[in-house]
Structure 1
Amino acid sequence: MNHSSDNITENATNNITRHVEVAVIGAGTAGQNAFRAARRTTKNIVIINDGFWTTTCATIGCMPSKLLIAAASRAHDAQHSDQFGIHADVQIDGKQVMARVQAERDFFANSVKKQVDSWPEHKKISGRAHINKDGLIEVNNELIKADKIIVATGSSPFIPEGWTDKLGDTLLTSDNIFELSDLPTSMAVIGAGSVGLEMAQSMARLGVNVTLFNRENRVASLQDDDINKKAIDCLARGLTMKLKSKVEDVGTCSDDKTIENKKSVAFIKYKDREGQVQEWQGEYVLVATGRRNNIEQLGIENLDVELDDKNRPKNLDINTGQIGDLEVYIIGDANAHIPLLHVASDEGFSAGSSVCPNNTDANLRPPSIPLSIVFCEPQIANIGMTLPEVKDSGLNYVIGKVSFDTQGRSRVMGVNCGLLHIYSCKETDKILGASMVGPDAEYIAHILAVAITNDLCIKELLDTPFYHPTIVEGLRTALRDVQDKMSIPYQAQLTQEDDF
């Protein structure tokens, strides 16, 4: 770090309460992994955390959202089994739904907390850290000098300016939606990313009157227009979506029916895709417009770290999180590189290994192949390079395709809506990337990620067994389509292959 002891003022030096080799700021997934990895070779370490000592995933993210999705899937299957000759009268107990979400969420969070509780107390500090102009960490009543600093302060939901005051108690984010004691009657969801899609569809399937708004005519940030169009088609069958709509204003107004309870309802004024001004009213507004890294108020500039106009650190080593040649590492959501749990986990391990004095490159985990999954139904997945990246690469590529509308097992299960595109290089016979909406996308995505990671060619994948009848057979159909297009003009029509 550029802030050597020579640069620290004499007054600051006299007030230092602790000198450590490594300080980790933030105790989420990335921070915890960094702390564990660094502790293997140094005992002179401290971890500082403001807020809960669990992880975003366990407490307010991945796990509670999947619990809500699980309840919604049960309700949807029970309500939509007529095609199988099964008719049911479904009663949804909103309080019981949310009680299970919270109880199971607490189970996962407590499991993480138990690990943290096993760490020595003198190595943990609860409080908000700030890095002062001398490059020292101020927290509570301590002034800590750290030879190496790992920043893992995570991220927070982004809320447009003024909306918190305008919406008041009707405003929800992914940080507080799982604290509801009952399912709401109505809800607007703003943003069609992973959080927005998952929450909008789940709430709608559980009987909530949901409207999803998004500025673009796009969902899940899909970059392949055909996959995006198919995803919209599949999702719109059970979800009201106002895509290509611009929110002009938000606020609350009195609800005449409950005026004695002084209850307000939320409203949204927006321009629809035709440019007409419309208004929505309902109980809550879930703002799912993305997350921003928690780095701005940390004082990171006092470590000579430069940020770009989107608050992302410059000169970032995507493998270790190190900033240039500084002894500063910014990892997980804090660096805003790829804000996903498995990436944060790997970055934490690599950063924690890098700061160890006996570290070798063999201890470092290489950057993962890009992999993202949205757990709506049908699921959406992206693996490897996006279609625009493939086009910009200058490589000679083909696109293998399969529709799940007619795929055997998908029709058997009544989940036959979807499309898979595999982008492959003609010269190397290797997979560059893929995009998909469809059933079992989470499993197909992992197979493709393994193939790309291990540099497998199309033939090697096709030589592996595909059990019949499975939805994964759709992957084989797309791979066969790739193989066919390697030797014939790309304009050839897709031939659907399935074994019945």
Structure 2
Amino acid sequence: MANSYDVIVIGSGPGGYVTAIRSAQLGFKTAIVEREHLGGICLNWGCIPTKALLRTAEIKHFSEHAKDYGLKLNGSIEADIKDVVQRSRNVSARLNAGVGYLMKKNKIDVIWGEAKLTKAATDGGLGEIVVGKITKKIMQPQNPVPKGTLGEGTYQAKHIIVATGARPRTLPGIEPDGKLVWTYFEAMVPETMPKSIVVMGSGAIGIEFASFYRDMGAEVTVVEMMPQIMPVEDAEISAFARKQLEKKGIRILTEAKVSKIEKTSNSVTAHIDINGKTETITADRLISAVGVQGNIENIGLEALGVKTERGCVVIDEWGRTNVPGIYAIGDVAGAPMLAHKAEEEGVICVEHIAGLETAEPLDKKKIPGCTYCTPQVASVGLTEAKAKAAGYDIRVGHFSFSANGKAIAMGEDQGIVKTIFDKKTGQLLGAHMVGAEVTELIEGFVVAMNLETTEEELMHTVFPHPTLSEMMKESVLDAYGQVLNA
């Protein structure tokens, strides 16, 4: 049958399109279904365009501190928010086109529309989906559907992989309205620059937007329910990051909750419960960054009996659901909701389908997390608190950016590298960083953990000088009382 495939992937985000490519590489006839943008949230409205915005903010920040580098700039630095946003959108458009090229290169059929599972692959038969008209648009603006691609109809496959991603979670009474109360969609494309912002939530999304808008000149208040910002991070790293963010003028309220909001024509007042009292803050806009939830609704999961839990599809280590022939990967399959986790899950899923002996389940303890605020935060593995709670007797090493020649030369001498080892075996249990470019450095520790590298091997590794990476080795040395430059 013309509409019959070995593998159909629903959703073309990083997890979906990478899965489709690996599927095609393994010789499967493959199709991918998308209702809005190739590349999904990450390429179009998440990971990539936010980094373009943050790069602009970083350049603006350096320009305003040019005298610290012996430079004089004539005139003031002004940001044209329309041009700032357009640059971000152009970056996304370029990558979106790149995904389209990859689909053609790998001979993957792209089916445009909204997919619904209608039949599972039972008794060796084929599963089935029906692709209908696009009725709900999450991302704006809508890209035109390319000519010559597939659309509405019934499609069959032996293996159907759900990669529908996630969307912003909303709180009752504080629902985004697209004007005064924003999700990350609206925060990414402001028509004018707000003079003041309240950010509700201090995870990666909230803190990145807080950092961006503050560097662009807005007054920013962050409201977080937990005792620390970036709650998943090591407490010491979080506390250091908080001090640096507060130094740049961001007001941070922890153990606080936005209980209700009031709107005027062009401002929003947040009522914040903190320390048994209620404080009100009026700002131009409020960004709701209280997490995301999986896109599990209206795609036929319930009718086929696919098990879900807490808004996500339940899977095993190979991405299989409880229903034969139906799989799930990425955000829709649960935490951590990260693009690189989705990609790896998808590759593992389809390689297991192909029967590759090299396929191995994903070890979620070795998935790095990155927050691209200023200063950056990056981590992998167990925090100090979690390592202790797990019963490990640990060694902890630290090294400060203020003792690193490259960091000082860069004018970026505020930061920490922290490493955690099992005292008994020398196993690297976790690595946590805050400071310039740590999102680029963290992968060194991820590789070390995957190779089961011990402290002795890390201490005998030669790191280039002068680099920020030297701090990684120094942190290891510090854990064992051998630090050289501090």
TM interval, shorter chain, is 0.7 to 0.9
Return the alpha-carbon distance in structure 1 between the equivalents of residues 417 and 456 of structure 2.
18
Return the alpha-carbon distance in structure 1 between the equivalents of residues 9 and 444 of structure 2.
35
Q: Which residue does 1:61 correspond to in 2? A: 46
Q: Cα deviations across residues 415-441 of structure 1 (Å, max 9, x unaligned)?
A: 222223211011211211122222231
CA contact (8 A) 2:43 2:92 kept: yes
CA contact (8 A) 1:23 1:146 kept: yes
Q: Cα deviations across residues 172-229 of structure 1 (Å, max 9, x unaligned)?
A: 2222333334433322221111111111111111112222221223222244322221
- SS of the aligned residue for 2:296 comes to coil
What's the offset of the Cα at 1:343? Answer: 1.5
CA contact (8 A) 2:306 2:323 kept: no
Larger Rg, first or second structure (1 or 2): 1
Q: Cα deviations across residues 19-51 of structure 1 (Å, max 9, x unaligned)?
A: 544322112111112222223455554322222
Q: Cα deviations across residues 138-196 of structure 1 (Å, max 9, x unaligned)?
A: 3226344433211111111112134336x452222222333334433322221111111
Please point out which of 250, 264, 267 is paired with 1:265.
267
Relative distance call for 1:423 and 1:211 in structure 2 (3 A) is same
Structure 1: tracts of 5 or more residues without a match = 1-15, 255-263, 485-494
Relative distance call for 1:41 and 1:448 in structure 2 (3 A) is closer
Greater shift in the superposed pair: 472-481 or 285-294: 472-481
Q: Which residue does 2:251 correspond to in 1? A: 240
Relative distance call for 1:46 and 1:103 in structure 2 (3 A) is closer
Q: Cα deviations across residues 335-358 of structure 1 (Å, max 9, x unaligned)?
A: 0132212211112222223333xx
Return the alpha-carbon distance in structure 2 between the equivalents of residues 472 and 136 of structure 1.
50
Relative distance call for 1:192 and 1:142 in structure 2 (3 A) is same
2:417 maps to amino acid? L
Kindly indicate whether residue 208 of structure 2 is the aligned counterpart of residue 198 of structure 1. yes
Q: Which residue does 1:149 correspond to in 2? A: 160
Return the alpha-carbon distance in structure 2 between the equivalents of residues 175 and 459 of structure 1.
46
Q: Which residue does 2:349 correspond to in 1? A: 351
Please point out which of 67, 91, 103 is paired with 1:104.
91
What's the offset of the Cα at 1:324? Answer: 5.0
Return the alpha-carbon distance in structure 2 between the equivalents of residues 19 and 113 of structure 1.
21
Relative distance call for 1:477 and 1:36 in structure 2 (3 A) is closer
CA contact (8 A) 2:345 2:362 kept: no
Q: Which residue does 2:14 correspond to in 1? A: 29
Q: Percent identity?
A: 25
2:7 maps to amino acid? V
Structure 2: tracts of 5 or more residues without a match = 121-126, 133-151
Return the alpha-carbon distance in structure 2 between the equivalents of residues 304 and 32 of structure 1.
26
What's the offset of the Cα at 1:115? Answer: 2.6
1:341 maps to amino acid? A
Kindly indicate whether residue 69 of structure 2 is the aligned counterpart of residue 70 of structure 1. no
Q: Which residue does 1:172 correspond to in 2? A: 182
Length, aligned pairs only: 457
What's the offset of the Cα at 1:80? Answer: 2.5
What's the offset of the Cα at 1:276? Answer: 2.6
Q: Which residue does 1:9 correspond to in 2? A: none
- SS of the aligned residue for 1:383 comes to strand
1:265 maps to amino acid? S
CA contact (8 A) 1:68 1:202 kept: yes
- For normalisation by structure 2, the TM-score amounts to 0.86
1:63 maps to amino acid? I
Return the alpha-carbon distance in structure 1 between the equivalents of residues 209 and 341 of structure 2.
23
Please point out which of 134, 139, 150 is paired with 2:131.
139
Report 1:28-427 matches (<5 A): 28-41=13-26, 44-86=29-71, 88=73, 89-116=76-103, 123-132=109-118, 136-140=128-132, 142-164=153-175, 167-238=177-248, 239-254=250-265, 264-272=266-274, 274-308=275-309, 310-314=310-314, 316-318=315-317, 320-324=318-322, 326-356=324-354, 359-362=355-358, 366-367=362-363, 369-427=366-424
Q: Cα deviations across residues 69-121 of structure 1 (Å, max 9, x unaligned)?
A: 11111111121344445454322222222222222222222222333355668
Q: Cα deviations across residues 366-402 of structure 1 (Å, max 9, x unaligned)?
A: 5462211111122111112233431233222111122
- SS of the aligned residue for 2:465 comes to coil
Q: Which residue does 1:8 correspond to in 2? A: none
CA contact (8 A) 1:223 1:388 kept: no
CA contact (8 A) 1:247 1:269 kept: yes
Return the alpha-carbon distance in structure 1 between the equivalents of residues 480 and 71 of structure 2.
42
Greater shift in the superposed pair: 405-414 or 148-157: 405-414
Relative distance call for 1:446 and 1:39 in structure 2 (3 A) is closer
Return the alpha-carbon distance in structure 1 between the equivalents of residues 441 and 103 of structure 2.
34
- For normalisation by structure 1, the TM-score amounts to 0.84
CA contact (8 A) 1:405 1:417 kept: yes
Return the alpha-carbon distance in structure 2 between the equivalents of residues 424 and 189 of structure 1.
36
Return the alpha-carbon distance in structure 2 between the equivalents of residues 133 and 450 of structure 1.
41
Relative distance call for 1:396 and 1:104 in structure 2 (3 A) is same
